[in-house]
Amino acid sequence: MSRQIKQIAPHGGTLVNRIVSDRQREEFLSKADFLPKVRLSERSLSDLELIAIGGFSPLTGFMGKADYQSVVLNMRLDNGLPWSIPITLPVTEAVAEPLNIGTLVRLDDPNGEFIGVLELSEKYTYDKLKEALHVYRTNEDRHPGVKVVYQQGNVYLAGDVWLLERRPHGLFPTYQIDPAESRELFLQKGWRTVVGFQTRNPIHRAHEYIQKCALEIVDGLFLHPLVGATKSDDVPADVRMRCYEIMLEHYYPQDRVILAINPASMRYAGPREAIFHALLRKNYGCTHFIVGRDHAGVGDYYGTYDAQYIFEEFEAHELGIIPLMFEHAFFCLRTKTMATTKTSPSLPEERVHLSGTKVREMLRRGESPPPEFSRPEVAAELAKIMHAMAIEEAKTEFQI
């Protein structure tokens, strides 16, 4: 007799679905030419999609002023539910001024195609400096998240949203698994416990090590790389996905891992984004979430383990997902294994770990990182692709 599996509840208790029915879609399409338009940025498009598919449950739209202020100041929605990143729709004063509260606003994607509808309930101004200091812990515009805030419009539009259709992802349609689907997959596999893993970088030995440590105590791994907007110098999503495919083919148990894309855009908000990423994976059905070294960090804005300490600011039952904390992993030359300072007797000079910057420099020269850092198959693929990209960039620069 099979065990009955009780899945983790979505954040707030209900998995949101804001994708229109066929009837609603026809109704909105009939009004398309008469509605005021707002063209979404890549980040806002990602946010719209995640709201619609339930990834941002319990949100049903872009935040109103009360929720926004509460999230910025207290990391909670106005009703007290934990939420650490404001999900807002910024526009300029010129765009906001003619829009009337209580009416529908047409939402277009960055190419100008009709993608969704906003039921406009509020429009409000906000303090960019305050948002930067609270969410990102800095007001420096060299921080990529702060830079976005400073450059965006001065007015936020709020209200429930509708997505006209769930389009297949342009690059990874087979890995586009939405929360309702991932939950069903976990049930089909009989997984009672699932650990989620967030990454915006190519997978390397340290990632593999902590993922497999986690797999020792749960039923399945939900490998969930982010493919939304990232910094220009981050490794492109298609390159990263190819690396994950190689790793799963050669080094992971086939029946215990699901690879899917996370359509979110990076905020680089460090500690706050760690909470945000955990709640997102809770909505996808994960019971556990890996939080490693400098999660969602950038530069030296956050302490090495600040993203782990922030979980102490919430009661465990409030978040409802279990964080698995890992120290920085490295290859130990003394024991010839992957390890952390918790398990290795090595001295610092006996530990192999490379910075992301150094690895990118090696790859652009066509050099493969050492096998202690990256599996050979992955290193070879990365070096080939990144070197070719560097050559093309050099050609373009020369032509200019």
Rg for the chain, CA atoms, rounded: 22
The DSSP secondary structure of 258-272, one letter per residue, reads EE--B-PPP---THH
Does the annotation count 23 as an active-site position?
A: no
At 270, which amino acid appears? G
Residue 254: Cβ within 10 Å count: 7
Q: Which two tokens stand for residue 182?
A: 């991932």
Q: Which position among 43, 200, 281, 375 bears the catalytic label?
A: 200
Decide: 178 and 244 in contact? Cβ < 8 Å.
no
Cis check: omega of the bond before 370, within 30 degrees of 0: no
Q: Which position among 39, 201, 256, 364 bears the catalytic label?
A: 201
Does the annotation count 200 as an active-site position?
A: yes
Check the CA dihedral 3-260-329-295 and report its sign.
Answer: negative
Q: What is the DSSP letter of 286?
A: -
Helices of type H across the chain: 22-31, 42-53, 65-74, 93-96, 128-131, 144-151, 179-189, 205-215, 237-251, 271-283, 306-309, 316-319, 356-364, 376-399
How far separated are the first and last CA of the chain, in Å rounded? Answer: 69
Catalytic residues: 200-201
